[in-house]
Structure 1
Amino acid sequence: MTARLLFVHAHPDDESLATGVAIAHHVAAGDEVHVLTCTLGEQGEVIPPELAHLDADHEDTLGEYRRDELRAAMAAIGAHHRVLGEDLASGRASRWRDSGMAGTAGAQHPRAWVRADDDVAVEAVTEVITEIEPDVVVSYDAHGGYAHPDHIRTHEVTRWAVSALPEGRRPHLFGTFTPRSWAEEDRRVLASMPGLTELGWQQPAGEFPPSVVADEVVTHAVVDADAVDQQVAALRHHRTQVTLGPDRTFALSNDIAALLSGREGYARLDPATGQPLECGSEPRRALVER
């Protein structure tokens, strides 16, 4: 039995970083996998110096460049993809714009995703869900992974869209979470890796982001080491945002080392509240029950 899955993300590269293992795993399983991206990531920081002119403080053409990165990444991983509100016939690349990190000026732009009218945004996402008719919809937890305003907005709009559907046509809604034991293990693995400081990278330290939760909250998982090769193939195309290192490591513009561990945690969310539906000690289940 094949399944249909829809991953809803805020910016290009989020899909490959946060859910790339699940996307690659389900593509390899023969499932129909769709990615919906809500903005083009116009406010992102640019890593390669030769592309710095693209950013919002200079040419402000980063969104179009990242759209091409997304196209190439999804071709590499094998998923269908679209940008929310994109209209190729009229030349509109997206309806809404990246709002930037909390406290930055990007949120004041009239097209900023965080300023989108609730009803209009929900209708746009509902149209996509209704067209695709997925069995499963995956987005962020209520904190947006690491409290990025666009991630939180994407979580809100996605769950409102799912909640608005008739109960019999409502897909399962999942949020992304990381069990604390996994996050702690990843830090130990990174600490034992030689050569990362030579790249100018720092070891992760301090408090974990809000999406790292008690192990029992994470009731579903995709664990597939083989999927990492396809995840890496996708991430190679997101070069404005991601630097790939040795042994399945990577860093963002903050130069903090991270690990592509071949495993991702999830929990079913209550569309009405955005909170995980259940906790327990049972073995973690797959996103799709076969």
Structure 2
Amino acid sequence: MTTRPDLRDGLPLGRRLRVVAVHAHPDDETLATGVALASHAAAGDEVHVITCTLGEEGEVIPPELVHLEGTGDLGPHRVGEVRAATAVLGARHHWLGGDPPRWRDSGMAGSPAAAHPRAFASADVGEAAGVLADLLEELRPDLVLTYDPHGGYGHPDHVQTHRVTVAAVARLPREQRPRLYMVLTPRSWAEEDREWLRAHVPEGVRSPAGGVARVPAPDDPFPPSVVDDGIVTHAVVDLAARDRQAAALREHPTQVTVHDGWYTLSNDIAARLPGREGYALLEVQES
């Protein structure tokens, strides 16, 4: 296995870092960067999460909460979920543009929510980047974590979060500019995870909504965030942080069902909790 440096590599030893993760919706902070956030918090670093929307368009899994889906009550409910999850991770939580956030969940590509006047995916990038830059200037992070240009799996709000975060970091004075990392998974890890799932996910496991968990087939396509191993420059590997990540995911019951070492979303596709995350350092161009 290739050994990659961690996110602290090259920074002064013994100094308490400030780490900020920027995400589109509640639960993304734990799904995409939960290992890094929990690991840095446990090491004594100051950890922050900035969420851009309330996640109003999320699909709800548990039958007892499904009445929230598609209503004005889901967003406020998810406020409580993200507060609880970030507390488990050891992170402080912020909304982009105030509380509640200025923008709202745009839904999946082509959904009616994309036409909402406050849809984040269609927000002016410069305006949103200015709001984020002001918050980053206040927090003074050493490290900023967010999605790759494809938003992990193509969700319009994730793609927009990448754009806005890159633009915001570029606005900061050079002497204040943090390292910017995007979340990526080495292909070899993704293949190992599928093998693990085939060996560990029992047949017939049902979600609270009654669906049956499905393990991806070996030839199923990977999301765009799975890349050639050489593209991934850094990694966080921490099995103790995995346990905290799983505990934090349990605070997002509308969106995630946690099993023994793996989880499912509303699509019932099994995904592993391997206790490791890959990142690539992103060079920020002058704004």
Calculate the TM-score normalised by the size of structure 1: 0.89
Please state how far the C-alpha of 1:97 moved relative to its aligned partner: 0.3
1:108 to 115, 137, 145: 115
Cα distance change of structure 1 residues 194 and 101 upon mapping to structure 2, 3 Å threshold: closer
Cα distance change of structure 1 residues 32 and 18 upon mapping to structure 2, 3 Å threshold: same
2:214 to 197, 202, 223: 202
Q: Which amino acid aligns with 2:193?
A: D
8 Å CA contact 2:126, 2:167 repeated in 1: no
Q: Give the % identical residues.
A: 57
Moved over 2 A (4+): 196-199, 270-273
Please state how far the C-alpha of 1:195 moved relative to its aligned partner: 1.7
User: Aligned equivalents of 1:147 and 1:109: distance in 2?
Assistant: 19
User: Aligned equivalents of 1:194 and 1:150: distance in 2?
Assistant: 31
User: Aligned equivalents of 1:72 and 1:136: distance in 2?
Assistant: 23
Q: Which amino acid aligns with 2:259?
A: G
Aligned to 1:81: 93
Cα distance change of structure 1 residues 22 and 150 upon mapping to structure 2, 3 Å threshold: same
Please state how far the C-alpha of 1:194 moved relative to its aligned partner: 4.5
Measured against aligned partners, the alpha-carbon deviations of 1:149-196 in whole angstroms (never above 9, x if no partner) come to 000000000000101112221111100000000000000000011424
Unaligned runs of 5+ in 2: 1-14, 207-211
Calculate the TM-score normalised by the size of structure 2: 0.90
Q: Which amino acid aligns with 1:271?
A: V
Please state how far the C-alpha of 1:85 moved relative to its aligned partner: 1.8
1:262 to 272, 275, 278: 275
Q: Which amino acid aligns with 2:45?
A: D
Aligned to 1:129: 136
User: Aligned equivalents of 1:116 and 1:107: distance in 2?
Assistant: 11
Q: Please state if 1:64 is matched with 2:71.
A: no
Q: Which amino acid aligns with 2:116?
A: H
1:138-217 alignment, distance < 5 Å: 138-199=145-206, 200-205=212-217, 206-217=220-231
8 Å CA contact 1:18, 1:176 repeated in 2: yes
Cα distance change of structure 1 residues 161 and 194 upon mapping to structure 2, 3 Å threshold: closer
SS at match of 1:207: coil
Aligned to 2:234: 220
Q: Which amino acid aligns with 2:281?
A: R
Unaligned runs of 5+ in 1: 88-92, 274-290
SS at match of 2:205: helix
SS at match of 1:147: coil
SS at match of 1:125: helix
Please state how far the C-alpha of 1:119 moved relative to its aligned partner: 2.4
Cα distance change of structure 1 residues 194 and 167 upon mapping to structure 2, 3 Å threshold: closer
Please state how far the C-alpha of 1:271 moved relative to its aligned partner: 2.3
Q: RMSD in angstroms over aligned alpha carbons?
A: 1.2
Aligned to 1:90: none
Please state how far the C-alpha of 1:100 moved relative to its aligned partner: 0.6
User: Aligned equivalents of 2:162 and 2:122: distance in 1?
Assistant: 14
Please state how far the C-alpha of 1:226 moved relative to its aligned partner: 1.0
Aligned to 1:96: 103
Q: Which amino acid aligns with 1:77?
A: L
